């Protein structure tokens, strides 16, 4: 899944700020992995943005 996040097109990290990046990651994860609940989606977005910064 994390490899898929890095390979997403357009790049999820190509944003003006971390909040927008987190929103993009949440939206992408929800669309790509609909079986995940909201807590899991938020945790993935938080991890992704924290790792980026």
Measure the CA–CA gap between 18 and 51, rounded to whole angstroms: 11
The angle subtended at Cα 31 by Cα 5 and Cα 39, nearest 5°, is 80
* 4-16 confidence digits (pLDDT tens): 888 888 888 888 8
The C-alpha atoms of residue 38 and residue 9 are separated, in whole angstroms, by 23
Domains held by the chain: number: 1
For the segment 12-34, the average pLDDT, to the nearest whole number, is 92
- Domain span at residue 45 reads 2-52
Q: What is the pLDDT of residue 4?
A: 85
HEC assignment per residue over the chain? CHHHHHHCCCCCCCCCCHHHHHHHHHHHHHHHCCCCCHHHHHHHHHHHHHHHC
């Amino acid at each position: 899944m994390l490899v898929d996040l890095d390979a997403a097109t357009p790049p999820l990290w190509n944003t003006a700020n971390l909040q927008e990046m987190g929103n993009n990651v949440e939206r992408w994860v929800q669309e790509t992995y609909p079986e995940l609940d909201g807590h899991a989606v938020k945790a993935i977005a938080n991890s992704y943005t924290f790792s980026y910064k």
